[in-house]
A and B are shown apart, each in its own frame.
Chain A
Amino acid sequence: MLVVVCVKQVPDTTQVQIDPVTNTLIREGVPFIVNPYDTHAIEEGLRLKDRFGFRVAAISMGPPNAEATLRKALALGVDRAILLSDRFFGGADTLATSKVLAAAIERLAQDEEVGVVICGKQTIDGDTAQVGPGIATRLHFSQLTLVDRVEEFDEGSRKIRVRRKLEGRHEEVQAPLPVLLTVVRELNRPRYPTVPMRLASVDAKVELWDNAVLGLDVNTIGLKGSPTWVSKIFSPQRAKGEILGDSSTEPEDAAQLLIDKMLEKDLLAL
């Protein structure tokens, strides 16, 4: 069985600033990282590999430099890394992206049965959380989102039972394979690459698939296949904060001051 992990290279958003004049992202000099949620997706794929001996493939759609992200996945122990890169894929929104990723997974399934696809809950640059569900819909896979624990994975009866992390509660659900999971950070603690694996990943093969491999209609992918339009990006205005405090160093006084302030601002219900 093959486990496919979808990963994305994203700008390190803690280092991104918005140009106050043009309201666009200043991307210059901002380093790229693996989307943090995706590191947990990779880890879960590798855990299935460790437990059941499945093979793991990491796929990523992006520009040629997104190869670095796949090399990191290789250093962690994935068996196969595929970069989906083509001019025609560029400018894609979540719909067009999920089409390309789904097509790549179908292409992989021609060689080896794909039982599980794992995605991060969302990316930290787009924050839509739509691509994972989009892939599941197109592939007609069971769809389990926001997974924070895999309770049971039964290869024989082809079933998976997971816990989903919802607001204020958890939900335990079961689904038949094939399945697509989107995962949250609480799911696992990603492993750290060993030096021998890092060195091996430098020369490891990253397969490059363009649209000639996938054979998709160019009008349904990339910018042309994206119905989403970004009309405006702006930083929300925030009122200037204030420093609270009198000269007292007693914790009780500080707490009282904070409570008074919150009551004054109507932030605390009594």
Chain B
Amino acid sequence: MMPHNAIFTALLSASLAFFCWSVYRRFSLVLHGQPEERLDHPARRLKEMLLYAFAQMRVLKKPFGLNHFVIFWSFMILAIANGEFLLNGVFPSVSLSLLPEGVHRFLLFAFDLVSLFTLVAIVLAFGRRLIVKPPYLDSLYVKGRSVEGFLILAFIALLMVAYFGLHGALIAQGRESVASAMPISSLVAGFLPAGSLGGVELVSWWLHAIVLLAFICFLPHSKHMHILTAIPNCYLGSLDWPATQPRETFEKGQLFGVGSVERFTWKDLFDSFSCTECGRCQAACPATCTGKPLNPRQIVHAIKTNLLENSQALREGRSGTLPLIGDEGEGTNTEDAIWSCTTCGACIEACPVLIEQMPKIIKMRRHLVETEARFPEELLNLFENMEQRSNPWGIAPGERAKWVSTMEVRPFVAGETEYLLYVGCAGSFDSRAKQVTVALATVLDAAGVSWGILGKDEKCCGDSLRRLGNEFLFDKMARENVELFRERKVTKVITLCPHCLTTLKNDYRQYGLELEVVHQSELVARLIAQGRIKLDGSDKSLGKISYHDPCYLGRHNGVFDAPRGAIEAATGSAPQELERHGRNSFCCGAGGGRMWMEEFIGERVNHARVDEALAGNPDTICVACPYCMTMMEDGLKDKGANNVRVKDVIEVVAEGLMRKELRKG
């Protein structure tokens, strides 16, 4: 027994009081946020928590994540050791030796082992930050080689060193009953100077005590707060992956969007306390990667900083003085950053602790558009065209069905037609996309699918408006469309465009409309599987094909295999993959309404993507989205790659069918 229990008890009490006070101060700030339901479906949430927090599924997606996995699980196991240490410091009679000997031996063996693992992992983490340092560790305000980062690593390393020092000294003095279960501590014992074992014991004990208490005090004020918030954050994560945006109601006297930090929901604020600045979102973000002022990690950091800076005002029921949106500065998001987002969702996909960065950006866009009417000037035309003519180009709605000029017009009639072919604006008005529409119609006919269109009555789905934060106009168009679909008794829809797909399928659900919506590539894959489309896999005319995953088809709606399968059925071989593909695909640059905006800052996103595609020397780049089509074709032109074509999946299938017929004929 040590003579210092009284001092330790006093220090521990003070530290715990400070810890509780700090945690209360921070978490009570979260309650300044707006309400949001995140406690429903406990079973599903528990599963998410087990998968992402405890099994570290996302963390392990990067190889170095294994290092974190080791530290995390060591921490969990050593929590028992540290708990005993604290209790024992106050009540010397309480120790693990009270447990049955087998359990005691096992635990101390485990502590010995994981302490060594942790020490190795911490050395590697030091090396990573000091020597390797991946670029995504740095953001504008938080650096990979920060004092905070190293301090946290040093704390953990010192705890391990102190652990071995203490237990080594105890073993050397013959005071450790289960020494034989502690190989590493025993090894350390052999190196300790026999004359000063008491001193080593005392110093190690106090080092362990002081570092542990300092850590407890420091924790709620550092980015290491994530060890408290990450696990609940995984429990509270969004259950619907297609990260659509919540509806707004439009009544007088309301505020729209998020213009100051307390307008975020409590979950948005909680997210900001869960971020540990790992930088994975920024490494995946098409805006950050091409030199735009947007960095999703910085958006989350700005929310946290802003909340803390303005905390006093918020507690007094005032608005803070540090603006949430304004000129560049820590705690403030610039408008350029907010407008740079393509809503591709790569940040959400990358985050190990399920932070939802992109929806926060859209909430700020809503404030800019709806409350301030402030947005890049190109968007004025888009908004007017959408409102007046229900398409982005402002072309007369009467011209919607012009693409059918080469075919027989088939109006959708409930009861007689199975599918509504929702052509969408691009498929109706864009000259290149119109060819895709014709290809789709040809394939549907070949398979004997019953389909019809709404013709000039079809309206824009409003996807771009919603992603751009013009929720007022989106709401109006969504209500009109929902009414139209109900009136025409539409139940099954084929879309040409993944943006129409996601809007009809996921966004309109918020309006009580449940449709069976399929993207053309999904339907075609199904028709091939059913034998209704017979391809012989011999069409080699398109050469080597690379497939680019559209964000809203892949990441947002989970369709990855269907387009690949359709290409394989037509050509006999699976398409070549781009370096970033599937869930990790890289945006073409046109999502989130960026299709309608100029791209003045940094490298063009489509150039970055086209370069990536060209690295595989394809003859054809295959897409499944009219926006991707435009971006890839433009990118190829800019790069002078005239020998590479861009084709939609459905065109590959249509050409496969045509060539088969020709060979037959």
Closest 5 CB pairs of A and B: A195-B370, A192-B373, A15-B396, A194-B373, A195-B472
Among B251, B375, B380, contact of A199 (Cβ-Cβ < 8 Å): B251
B240 beta carbon closer than 8 Å to chain A: no
How many Å lie between the Cα of A31 and that of B480 in the bound state? 15
> Would you call A193 and B396 a contact (CB within 8 A)?
no
Q: Which of B370, B372, B394 contacts A14 (CB 8 A)?
A: B394
Is A161 an interface residue, CB under 8 A from the partner?
Answer: no
Given the complex, which residues of A lie within 8 Å of B642, measured CB to CB?
A: 249
Check if A198 sits within 8 Å of B396, measured CB to CB. no
A12 neighbours in B (Cβ, 8 Å): 388-389, 396
A108 within 8 A of B: no
A194 & B370 in contact (Cβ 8 Å cutoff): yes
Task: Report the Cα distance A15→B456, complex, angstroms.
Answer: 12
Query: Could you mark each residue 181-199 of chain A with 1 if its beta carbon is under 8 Å from any beta carbon of chain B, else 0?
Result: 0000000011111111011
Question: Contacting A15 at CB < 8 Å: which of B256, B373, B398?
Answer: B398
Closest Cβ of chain A to B402, distance in Å, is 14
Q: In the complex, what residues of B have CB within 8 A of residue A17's CB? A: 398
Identify 6 new A-B residue pairs, CB closer than 8 A, beyond the known A196-B254, A198-B472, A200-B252: A12-B388, A15-B396, A17-B398, A31-B388, A194-B370, A195-B370
Report the Cα distance A15→B394, complex, angstroms: 10
The listed residue (B380, B394, B395) touching A189 by CB distance below 8 A is B380
CA distance A15 to B256 in the complex (A): 33
Q: Is B383 among interface residues, defined by CB-CB distance under 8 A?
A: yes
B373 — which chain A residues lie within 8 A by C-beta? Answer: 191-194
CA A192 to CA B375, docked complex, whole Å? 9
10 A–B contacts, CB within 8 A, in A order? A15-B396, A31-B388, A190-B380, A194-B370, A195-B256, A196-B371, A198-B472, A199-B252, A200-B252, A249-B642
Chain B positions within 8 Å of A15 at CB level = 389, 396-398
Q: Which B residues, 575 to 634, have Cβ-Cβ distances below 8 Å to chain A? A: none
Q: Does B241 contact A (CB under 8 A)?
A: no
A198, B370: Cα distance in complex, Å: 10
Asked whether B371 lies within 8 Å of A195 as measured between CB atoms, the reply is: yes
A33 at the interface (CB under 8 A from B): yes
- Min Cβ gap B465→A in Å is 13
Residue of A with least CB distance to B374:
A192
How many whole Å from A232's CB to the nearest CB in chain B?
25
The number of residues on chain A lying at the interface, defined by a beta carbon within 8 Å of a beta carbon of chain B, is 18
Which of chain B's residues have a CB closer than 8 A to the CB of A31? Answer: 388
**Nearest CB of chain B from residue A33's CB, rounded to whole Å:** 6
The B interface, classified by DSSP as helix, strand, loop or mixed, is: loop
Contacts of B395 in A (CB 8 A): 14
Q: How far is the CA of A193 from the CA of B372 in the complex (A)?
A: 9
Cβ contacts under 8 Å, B375 to chain A = 192
A3 to chain B, nearest CB (A): 21
Distance in angstroms between the alpha carbons of A49 and B182 in the assembled complex: 82
Residue B416 interfacial (CB < 8 Å):
no
The interface residues of chain A lying within 8 Å CB-to-CB of B394 are: 14
Min CB–CB distance B480 → chain A (angstroms): 13
> Within 8 Å CB of B91, what residues of A?
none
* B250 at the A interface (CB under 8 A): yes
Residue of A nearest to B387 (CB): A33
Whole-angstrom CA separation of A137 from B250 in the bound complex: 45
Query: Does B377 have its Cβ within 8 Å of any Cβ on chain A?
Result: yes
Residues of chain A lying within 8 A (CB to CB) of residue B388? 12, 31, 33
Q: How far is the CA of A191 from the CA of B383 in the complex (A)?
A: 12
Contact indicator A199/B250 (Cβ below 8 Å) = yes
A13 to chain B: closest residue by CB: B396
Residue of A nearest to B369 (CB): A192
Number of chain B residues whose Cβ lies closer than 8 Å to a Cβ of chain A: 23
Residues of A within 8 Å of B250, CB to CB, are 195, 199
A192 near B396 (CB under 8 angstroms)? no
A195 to B469, CA, bound (A): 12
Smallest CB separation, A36 vs chain B (Å): 9
Is there contact, CB below 8 Å, between A194 and B396?
Answer: no
If the complex has contacts A195-B472, A200-B252, A249-B642, are A189 and B370 also in contact, measured as CB distance less than 8 A? Answer: no
Contact (Cβ within 8 A) B396 A189: no
**A72 to chain B: closest CB distance in Å?**
10
Shortest distance from the beta carbon of B529 to any chain A beta carbon, whole Å: 39
CB distance from B366 to the nearest CB of A (A): 9
- With A15-B398, A199-B252 known as contacts, the answer to whether A194 contacts B380 (CB < 8 A) is no
A122 shortest CB reach to chain B, Å: 19
Closest to A202 in B: B252
A193 to B377, CA, bound (A): 14
Contacts of B396 in A (CB 8 A): 12, 14-15
Residues of chain A contacted by B389 (CB below 8 angstroms) = 12, 14-15
A15 to B389, CA, bound (A): 9
With CB as the reference atom, state the residue of chain B lying closest to A31: B388
Tell me, in angstroms, the Cα distance from A189 to B383 when the chains sit together: 14
Q: Are B397 and A192 in contact (CB under 8 A)?
A: no
Interface centre among B373, B394, B472 (most CB of A within 10 A): B373
Chain A proximity of B158: nearest CB distance (Å): 55
Known contacts: A33-B388, A200-B252. The answer to whether A192 contacts B371 by CB under 8 A is no
A31 to B459 CA separation, bound complex (whole angstroms): 14
In the complex, the chain A residue whose C-beta lies closest to that of B394 is A14
A207→B251 CA distance, assembly (Å): 24
Tell me which residues across on chain A come within 8 A of B252, comparing CB atoms: 196, 199-200
Instruction: Give CA–CA (A196, B383) in the complex, Å.
Output: 17
CB distance from A218 to the nearest CB of B (A): 36
B456 (CB) vs chain A CBs: closest residue: A29
Complex interface: chain B residues within 8 A of A192 (CB): 369, 373, 375, 380, 383
Q: How far is the CB of A201 from chain B (nearest CB, A)?
A: 11
Q: Nearest Cβ distance between residue A224 and chain B, in whole angstroms?
A: 34
A-side contacts of B397, CB under 8 Å: 15
B251 vs chain A, min Cβ distance (A): 7
In this complex, what residue of B is CB-closest to A36? B384
**Identity of the chain B residue whose Cβ is nearest the Cβ of A199 in the assembled complex:** B252
Within 8 A of B (CB), among A227-250: 249
- A31–B254 Cα gap in the complex (Å)? 30
In the complex, chain B residues whose CB is within 8 Å of the CB of A189: 377, 380
How far is A6 from B250 in the complex, measured between Cα atoms in Å?
30
Q: Which residues of chain B from 387 to 423 have any CB-CB distance to chain A below 8 Å in the complex? A: 388-389, 394-398
Shortest CB–CB separation between residue B165 and chain A, in angstroms?
A: 64
Whole-angstrom distance between the Cβ of B19 and the nearest chain A Cβ: 44
B216 to chain A, nearest CB (A): 47
In angstroms, Cα B642 to Cα A152, docked, is: 52
Encoded as 1 (CB less than 8 Å from any B CB) or 0, chain A from 58 to 94 comes to 0000000000000000000000000000000000000
**Binary contact readout A30-45 vs B (1 if CB under 8 angstroms, 0 otherwise):** 0101000000000000
Nearest chain A residue, comparing its CB with the CB of B256: A195
How far, in Å, is A56 (CB) from chain B's closest CB?
17
How many Å lie between the Cα of A200 and that of B250 in the bound state?
Answer: 11
Taking CB as reference atom, which chain A residue is nearest B472? A195
The residue in chain B whose Cβ has the minimal distance to the Cβ of A194 is B373
Q: How far is the CA of A14 from the CA of B394 in the complex (A)?
A: 9
Tell me, in angstroms, the Cα distance from A215 to B193 when the chains sit together: 114
B-side contacts of A191, CB under 8 Å: 373
A10 to B256, CA, bound (A): 31
Q: Report the minimum CB–CB distance from B405 to chain A (whole Å).
A: 15
- Would you give the shortest CB distance from B276 to chain A, in whole angstroms? 37
Q: How far is the CA of A245 from the CA of B397 in the complex (A)?
A: 30
A contact residues around B251 at 8 Å (CB): 199
**B527 CB to nearest A CB, Å:** 35
Rounded to whole Å, the gap between the CB of B645 and the closest CB of chain A is 13
Instruction: Give Cα A194 to B250, complex, Å.
Output: 12
Report the bound CA distance from A191 to B251 in whole Å.
Answer: 22
Q: Across the two chains, which residue of chain B brings its CB closest to A200?
A: B252
Among A17, A199, A249, find the residue whose CB has the most chain B CB atoms closer than 10 A.
A199
In the complex, the chain A residue whose C-beta lies closest to that of B252 is: A199
With both beta carbons as reference points, the residue of chain B lying nearest to A190 in the complex is identified as B380
The residue among A14, A193, A200, A249 with the most chain B CB atoms within 10 A of its own CB is A14
